[in-house]
Amino acid sequence: MALNFLDMCSLPVHTSPYRACAEIDVKRFSNWRDLPMSALLTEGINQFAVRFARTVLPKVMEGRLRVLPVGIRNLATHGELGLGPFLVEGDVSQFGPTARVRITVRKMAAQATPILMEAEVAAAVAGAAAVADGTTAHADGVPPLQWQVNDDPLFRLTAPFGQLDRYGFQVNPGCPLLEEHFPGFAVAPGSLVLAFVWEQVARRLGVRGNALRIDDARFVRPVTPGIDYLCTLRELAADGKPGRYRFVLGSASGDVHTQGVFHFAGLPVGLAAPHGETAEVAA
């Protein structure tokens, strides 16, 4: 069973002490056709940020410490992403146990090409306290994405969005992707969690959410199998932020696992009525 999910991004090549580049080729992942390109490319920039951060954070290389992404902000996609391969470039700044990597992604070519995705990713040593600071057309329905690997859905809806603007889901422990991410400690990739939540919010709003845009997101705790997750949504127009929606992904015990703000450009103020009341599973 060839997956190679964690091999989509090559090792960074330093072009200066605090700047590097690498190649993202999503086709190294054997099941790349099963997931949306925006999610795969987000995973690719997370991999780049982690590997780049490992070269600047103190005592990481000699101590063989694990570095993980802890947040992402100002993520925006520009135009059609295509299939790649992609050139990813970034510069890094260190803040204690955290490294902040500013990233741009372009199509790999002999000459400079337009930016397709940009973001800032914060990465930190696992277990260290870290702070990740640092026109959408309306549609009658949004077709579900193929959230599955080898016919096993990674996420399963347990309750659809309703009038209270919340929904529930679980992580499928039998998904083969979790055998790689990570061996002995299954964790749903943060990039895929964000893309899945984005899709559910887009379906709730009745818009086509293919232009992934994240103002801010923080990975507070790992999203793992065996937990019933509840995601709540709140519109921020009343706070002077039109088109922005805050999501909080938590467990029944009240622990927050992931939270952030999505940006949907061109939306009218006010949440629309839920699109479909059936528990349709995007898998």
Distance CA 185, CA 104 (A): 31
pTM, two decimal places: 0.86
Residue 106 has what pLDDT? 97
Q: Kindly state the tokens that stand for 46.
A: 């997370």
The DSSP bridge partners found for residue 21 are 13, 89
Residue 58 has what pLDDT? 77
Higher-confidence position of 165 and 272: 165
Residues contacting residue 54 through CB under 8 Å, at least 6 positions apart: 60, 61, 67
Same fold for the domain at 5-125 and the one at 148-263?
A: yes
pLDDT in tens, 217-226: 999 999 999 9
pLDDT in tens, 267-281: 655 555 444 433 332
Closest of 145, 161, 157 to residue 274, by C-alpha: 161
Q: What share of the chain is helix, strand, coil (3-state, %, to 5)?
A: 20, 35, 45
pLDDT in tens, 53-97: 998 887 776 667 788 899 999 999 998 899 989 999 999 998 888
Domain 148-263, CATH? 3.10.129.10
For 131, the enclosing helix (H) or strand (E) is none
Residue 177 has what pLDDT? 92
Q: Environment class of residue 131 by beta-carbon count within 10 Å: exposed (0-12), middle (13-18) or buried (19+)?
A: middle
Decide: helix, strand or coil at residue 55: coil
Integer angstrom CA distances of residue 270 from 40, 235, 238: 31, 7, 9
Distance CA 192, CA 155 (A): 10
Mean model confidence pLDDT for the chain: 83
Given a cut of 60, whether residue 195 has pLDDT beyond it is yes
Residue 4 has what pLDDT? 93
Average pLDDT (248-272) is 83
Residue 77 has what pLDDT? 93
* pLDDT band at 130; cut points 50, 70, 90: very low
Question: Among 3.10.20.600, 3.40.50.2000, 3.40.50.300, 3.10.129.10, what is the CATH number of 5-125?
Answer: 3.10.129.10
Residue 199 has what pLDDT? 86
In terms of average pLDDT, the best of 144-148, 149-153, 194-198 is: 194-198
Integer angstrom CA distances of residue 253 from 32, 162, 230, 256: 34, 21, 10, 9
Higher-confidence position of 147 and 271: 147
Residue 165 has what pLDDT? 87
Q: Kindly state the tokens that stand for 47.
A: 């991999």
Percent of the residues in the chain that have a pLDDT greater than 90, as a whole number:
54
Average pLDDT (157-170) is 84
Distance CA 79, CA 83 (A): 13
Closest of 177, 119, 136, 156 to residue 3, by C-alpha: 177
Q: Kindly state the tokens that stand for 4.
A: 């190679």
Distance CA 68, CA 80 (A): 28
Phi/psi-derived region of residue 110, left when phi > 0, alpha when psi is between -120 and 50, beta in every other case: alpha
Residue 276 has what pLDDT? 41
Domain boundaries, the chain: 5-125, 148-263
E strand spans, 96-227: 98-107, 115-125, 148-149, 152-153, 155-159, 166-171, 213-219
pLDDT in tens, 1-55: 678 999 999 999 999 999 999 999 999 999 999 888 999 999 999 999 999 999 8
